[in-house]
Amino acid sequence: MAMINNSIISVDDLSFGYDQNSSILSNVVCDISANEFTVIMGKNGSGKSTLLRIMGGIIPYNYGTVKVKGAELKSLKLKEKSRIIGFLPQQHKPVFPFKVFEVVLTGRASYVSITPNKTDLYETERAIELTGISYLKNRIYTELSGGEQQLVMIARLLAQKPEILLLDEPVSHLDFNNQIKILKLIKELVSKNITVVAVLHDPNMAYQFGDRFIYVHDNMIHEVNNEKAWEHKLVTRIFSNDIQHVEHEGKIIFIPKS
Amino acid sequence: MGKAVIRNIIILLPLPVVLFSLFIGSSENVSFQKIVALFYSAHPLPPELETVKTIIYQIRLPRILLVFITGGVLSVSGSAMQAVFRNPLVDPYILGLSSGAAFGAALALYILIVPVQLLAFIFGLLAVGLCYLMARKNKQVSIVSLILAGIITNGIFTALLTIVQIISDPFKLQSIVHWIMGNFHTANWDKFNMVIIPVLAGLVILYVLRWKLNVLAMGDEEALSAGINPFRMKIWVLLAATLSSSAVIAVSGIIGLYGLIIPHIIRMIFGVNNKITLPMNLFLGGSFLVLIDDISRSFRGFEIPIGVLTMLLCAPFFIWLLKKTNTGWQ
């Protein structure tokens, strides 16, 4: 495994399966480094989301350890955890037509005792500005486009003020422009000392924007440093032999083999 | 008209509605002039005013207040349940709570030893629990499965209720039947006092959690990420909603769809923020039911049960809601 010294989440010997007979992750070891954009990649059903959801405290784990800033994730109170980690579920399914501001405000839940106070409103306002969606503030969430909705959900995470953002396929159902918009925003957040971990599918987007990469394959985790990431044998295993890479202006671009 | 104005009107509405309703009733001895005279007559009152006083204070006032509480509680509980289940089409009636509580109350009327409120609460809770467990599949509760589970829950408790009716003697049977139809003509201060404690307990809990309902409405994982345990929170909300609504159902009988219609009207005016809508549901739900009850009280010689009137009023509205797809949900 890659050695990193500024690890903010460290997973050790983690095993997990949804039932006794099948395992999704076995003896997984990996580290997430602080203030970087880590991309998790792998085939559908490989366990990417499971790993992310365990790190986000969404599903409990029984075997192995997950340490967040040195403390065991399990032992953290929900409130403490939510101020360190913000988790973005795969696809938010809205039911009620809340206003954008009201949606972002719910990110403040761990700070609110009964109803939000001035600080909560201020932080919500700031998160909305930081995400660049001030113009959407009074719109109805359910009436927005997919890209706009995703920006709102990211603003909601920022209002929560966590140090780490775990994003489960944040761009998967977005158009090209919106994908770039979200990934640029992620880079901007990383530059403001927020650690981001995201599951991505498109290798081009991943290598353009990611700092470090984690491949999930055959229940195992493989960490790869950036420079040679695309040469790793796992890339071909994950994407099969149907892709090749070309160099363009010093960047690696993946294209399907013809 | 601005929202703030409408909001103030709804907050102030209960006062004129309650005052107005004091003048409505079937008694021919009570005229408008006599009621007005009551307010500035010197003590001791003349005998005819004494009767008026009794009718106003012992019959009409407790009834109006009880109806107000019932309407308010059904609306508040309905909106809270809609947030918990992330389903705008549920209320105490749809989820089977009403028929569960109705069965519990009828059972108590039959046994005569156990308090009506207690059995209503226990079976109301049982019904909601049953409905939820039936609807849950792969840790998901879909809108349709919840409504179907509610139909089955309603069926089960209606069947049980029928059994209680069959084994009851004619005298008890009459009171049970009248009561199921939703009726306030037996309202008095005793019933009011019986209801007010569980109602206040439930409402206080819901009032404290009103903003957190917004967080729940986002979804379980979204709430969990934001630092709220959605499962614990849902249990609190459901306990509070069931406690207060089964208490009023134990007195009022089944008033169908009311807890669904009022929250929708409130949402159309104020949006979906529960912090604002929850108190509005209480005020409008209470006032509107008092007005419906005024209609049922103004007939001479007979009284149309309020459950019948609300159903006749709410059903067309419910159908219209289903057809109207642009309310933000499908």
**SS3 of B214-271:** HHHHCCHHHHHHCCCCHHHHHHHHHHHHHHHHHHHHHHHCCCCCHHHHHHHHHHHHHC
The pLDDT-based confidence of B144 (bands split at 50, 70, 90) is: confident
CA distance A88 to A53: 9
ipTM for the predicted complex comes to: 0.87
Mean model confidence pLDDT for chain A: 86
Nearest CB to B221: which of A58, A98, A157? A58
Give the pLDDT confidence of A206-245 residue by residue, as tens digits: 888 988 888 887 777 776 665 566 666 666 667 666 777 7
CATH number for the domain formed by residue range(s) B62-319:
1.10.3470.10
pLDDT higher than 70, residue A38: yes
**Cross-strand bridge partners of residue B162:** none
pLDDT higher than 80, residue B303: no
Q: In this predicted model, which residue has the larger pLDDT, B151 or A19?
A: B151
Hey, are the CB atoms on B224 and A92 less than 8 Å from each other?
Answer: no
Residue for token pair 């360190």 = A84
Picking from A31-35, A136-140, A177-181, B326-330, which range would have the lowest pLDDT averaged per residue? B326-330
Per-position b or e across B134-165, b if 16+ CB within 10 A of its CB? bbeeeeebebeebbebbeebbebbbebbeebe
What pLDDT does residue B177 have?
81
CA distance A149 to A131: 12
B233 at interface of A, judged by CB pairs closer than 8 A: no
The pLDDT-based confidence of B329 (bands split at 50, 70, 90) is: very low
What pLDDT does residue B24 have?
84
Interface of B with A in 235-254 (CB under 8 A): none
Hey, are the CB atoms on B271 and A115 less than 8 Å from each other?
Answer: no
B225 at interface of A, judged by CB pairs closer than 8 A: yes
What pLDDT does residue B257 have?
85
Give the pLDDT confidence of B260-278 residue by residue, as tens digits: 999 999 998 898 999 999 9
pLDDT higher than 50, residue A131: yes
Mean model confidence pLDDT for chain B: 87
What pLDDT does residue A213 have?
86
Hey, are the CB atoms on A78 and B214 less than 8 Å from each other?
Answer: no
Which residues in chain A are contacts of B275 at CB distance < 8 A?
115
Q: What is the average pLDDT across A40-47?
A: 84
Picking from A14-18, B148-152, B246-250, B326-330, which range would have the lowest pLDDT averaged per residue? B326-330
Give the pLDDT confidence of A63-110 residue by residue, as tens digits: 888 988 888 888 999 999 999 999 999 877 778 899 999 999 999 999
Distance from CA of B317 to the nearest CA of A (A): 19
B212 at interface of A, judged by CB pairs closer than 8 A: yes
CA distance A145 to A137: 14
A211 touches A35 (CB < 8 A): no
Which residues in chain B are contacts of A18 at CB distance < 8 A?
none
Q: What domains lie within chain A, and their CATH numbers?
A: 7-256 (3.40.50.300)
Q: What is the average pLDDT across A37-58?
A: 88
**pTM score:** 0.88
Give the pLDDT confidence of A148-187 residue by residue, as tens digits: 999 999 999 999 999 999 999 999 888 888 899 899 999 9
A250 CB-near residues (< 8 Å, 6+ apart): none
Q: For B270, which residue in chain A has the nearest alpha carbon?
A: A98
Q: What is the average pLDDT across A123-151?
A: 92
Hey, are the CB atoms on B224 and A105 less than 8 Å from each other?
Answer: no
In this structure, what DSSP letter does residue A91 have?
-
A232-236, B71-75, B300-304 — which one is most confidently predicted on average?
B71-75
Nearest CB to A92: which of B222, B226, B273? B222
What pLDDT does residue A240 have?
66
Nearest CB to A93: which of B83, B219, B225? B219
CA distance B304 to B298: 10
What pLDDT does residue A102 have?
95
Which residues in chain B are contacts of A116 at CB distance < 8 A?
211
The pLDDT-based confidence of B56 (bands split at 50, 70, 90) is: confident
